């Protein structure tokens, strides 16, 4: 390209010489030719200088050198949990596709604090990303996923979360400085465990001290069922159940297995009452500081990570059920009793819509997309 410009310039000047010979005498033409040669030399010198400038610019826009960015990612699950295993895939994809420009550092098992504390660190820029359950502080629209008995199976949820409706919900997080490149399944449908009695019908859960995370949807569901919500950090839940600080808790099978809650609980009800999203919360300031091609690498890796995560969650949930059956008394809800729970939880929907957490329109979009 650079040489082409130079030769075009020379060609134009040569044509000028020919034109000059046809219009003036030999002596004058010789003088004109010498002037043209001097002009050509000047053009060549300027072109060489331009080439040097272009080369410098090209060097500047080349991919950034290895290790330019560090991406610290914290979460509360153990290294054997699907969440961490899928993050290992994310780490590998980002470092490979960025040719080492982004170095991913994973901090599992609550090394960096509670889920709420890690989210705050992301917003402050101390770390670059986290995965966890502090949905309410990020985007209230995420609560639409967690309405009681909305989904019958995880695949219904993941199809929506990975599609245009999911993108619309994720975009709401930008208002608090969080970018969500992808949202996966946090563990499958959630179940109830406790140490007091089997939960077969709504009256069985009345009065039980049920541990709830700081997630408004769970709190409102427990209140609607007339249980007593108890706020306990996830990292402290095992001992709280063991000592009786809480009678029971709610979690998907993969979490119950990962934290070995079955060791300190007698009864489990396969309620399938709720599912949680697992968004990747990324500092938007950090994300915007990346070159566009690196932004694309991070986003694509997050989407691939979540596909792997969702597969692991389904497989792990099926694999650990025998462990639950060996260690706890399992109750499966009848259709009649399940409907009784659904009816009792109906006011939860009204609360979230009336309080403006999400719109009826968004809920209708989700419901109409469930297949």
- The 10s digit of each residue's pLDDT in 243-299 is 999 999 999 999 999 899 999 999 999 999 999 999 999 999 999 999 999 999 999
Q: How confident is the model at residue 51 (pLDDT cuts 50, 70, 90)?
A: low
**Residue boundaries of the structural domains of the chain:** 2-61, 69-143+156-176+279-309, 190-276+315-369
Instruction: Kindly report the pTM of this predicted structure.
Output: 0.81
What local confidence, expressed as pLDDT, does residue 36 receive? 47
Instruction: Establish how many alpha carbons lie within 13 A of residue 209's alpha carbon, considering only the half-sphere containing its beta carbon.
Output: 12
Pairing of strands 102-107, 69-75: parallel
| Helix (H) or strand (E) segment spanning residue 211 | strand 209-212
Share the mean pLDDT of the chain: 88
Rounded distance between C-alpha atoms, residue 240 and residue 243, angstroms: 5
Q: Which CATH class is domain 69-143+156-176+279-309?
A: alpha beta
**In angstroms, what CA-CA distances link 162 with 132, 150, 297, 304?**
17, 17, 17, 11
What local confidence, expressed as pLDDT, does residue 173 receive? 98
Residue 210 has pLDDT above 80, yes or no: yes
- The 10s digit of each residue's pLDDT in 92-110 is 999 999 999 999 999 999 9
Residue 20 has pLDDT above 70, yes or no: no
Q: How confident is the model at residue 61 (pLDDT cuts 50, 70, 90)?
A: very low
Find the helix packing angle between 292-327 and 154-161, rounded to 10°: 170
User: In a 3-state reduction of DSSP, which class is residue 204?
Assistant: helix
Least confident of 66-70, 267-271, 333-337: 66-70
* Residue reference for tokens 């069922």: 225
Q: Which of the two residues, 48 and 341, has the higher pLDDT score?
A: 341
CATH code: domain 190-276+315-369 is 3.40.190.170
* Residue reference for tokens 């979690």: 251
What local confidence, expressed as pLDDT, does residue 30 receive? 63
Residue 83 has pLDDT above 70, yes or no: yes
Rounded distance between C-alpha atoms, residue 221 and residue 346, angstroms: 9
| Rounded CA Rg of the chain | 31
Closest listed residue to residue 288, CA positions, set 180, 170, 179, 181: 179
* Residue reference for tokens 């010489």: 17
Q: Which two tokens stand for residue 233?
A: 């950090």
The alpha carbon of 316 is separated from its chain's Cα centroid by a whole number of angstroms, namely 20
What local confidence, expressed as pLDDT, does residue 15 receive? 42
Closest listed residue to residue 120, CA positions, set 107, 111, 130: 130
**Contact between 224 and 273 (Cβ < 8 Å):** no
Pairing of strands 228-231, 209-212: parallel
Q: How confident is the model at residue 60 (pLDDT cuts 50, 70, 90)?
A: very low
Q: Which two tokens stand for residue 50?
A: 């331009």
Around Cβ 368, how many Cβ atoms within 10 Å? 9
Around Cβ 265, how many Cβ atoms within 10 Å? 23
Task: Answer yes or no: same fold for 69-143+156-176+279-309 and 190-276+315-369.
Answer: yes
Q: How confident is the model at residue 13 (pLDDT cuts 50, 70, 90)?
A: very low
Closest listed residue to residue 248, CA positions, set 271, 264, 259: 264
């Amino acid at each position: 390209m650079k040489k082409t410009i130079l030769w075009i310039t020379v060609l134009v000047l040569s044509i000028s010489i020919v034109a000059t010979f046809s219009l003036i005498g030999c002596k004058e033409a010789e003088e004109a030719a010498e002037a043209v040669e001097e002009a050509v030399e000047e053009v060549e010198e300027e072109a060489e200088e331009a080439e040097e400038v272009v080369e410098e610019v090209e060097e500047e826009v080349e991919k950034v050198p290895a290790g330019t960015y560090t991406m610290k990612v914290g979460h509360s699950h153990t290294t054997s949990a699907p969440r961490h295993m899928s993050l290992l895939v994310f780490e590998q994809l980002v470092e490979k596709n960025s040719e080492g420009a982004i170095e991913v550092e994973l901090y599992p098992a609550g090394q960096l604090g509670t889920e709420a504390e890690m989210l705050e660190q992301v917003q402050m820029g101390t770390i670059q990303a986290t995965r966890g359950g502090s949905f309410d502080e990020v985007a209230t629209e995420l609560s639409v996923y967690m309405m009681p008995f909305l989904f019958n199976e995880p695949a219904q949820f993941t199809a929506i979360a990975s599609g245009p409706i999911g993108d619309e919900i994720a975009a709401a997080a930008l208002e608090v400085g969080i970018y969500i490149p992808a949202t996966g399944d946090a563990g499958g449908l959630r179940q109830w465990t406790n140490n007091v009695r089997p939960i077969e019908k709504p009256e069985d859960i009345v009065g039980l001290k049920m541990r709830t995370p700081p997630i408004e949807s769970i709190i409102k569901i427990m209140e609607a069922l007339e249980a007593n919500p108890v706020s306990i950090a996830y990292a402290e839940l095992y001992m709280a159940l063991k000592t009786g600080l809480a009678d029971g808790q709610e979690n998907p099978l993969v979490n119950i297995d990962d934290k070995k809650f079955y060791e300190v609980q007698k009864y489990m009800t396969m309620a399938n009452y709720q599912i949680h999203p697992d968004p990747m919360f990324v500092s938007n300031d950090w994300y915007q500081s990346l070159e566009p091609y690196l932004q694309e690498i991070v986003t694509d890796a997050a989407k691939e990570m979540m596909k792997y995560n969702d597969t692991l969650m389904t497989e792990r949930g099926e694999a650990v059920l025998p462990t639950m059956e060996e260690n706890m008394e399992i109750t499966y809800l009848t259709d009649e009793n399940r409907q009784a729970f659904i009816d009792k939880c109906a006011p939860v929907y009204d609360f979230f819509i009336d309080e403006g957490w999400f719109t009826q329109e968004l809920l209708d979009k989700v419901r109409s997309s469930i297949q």
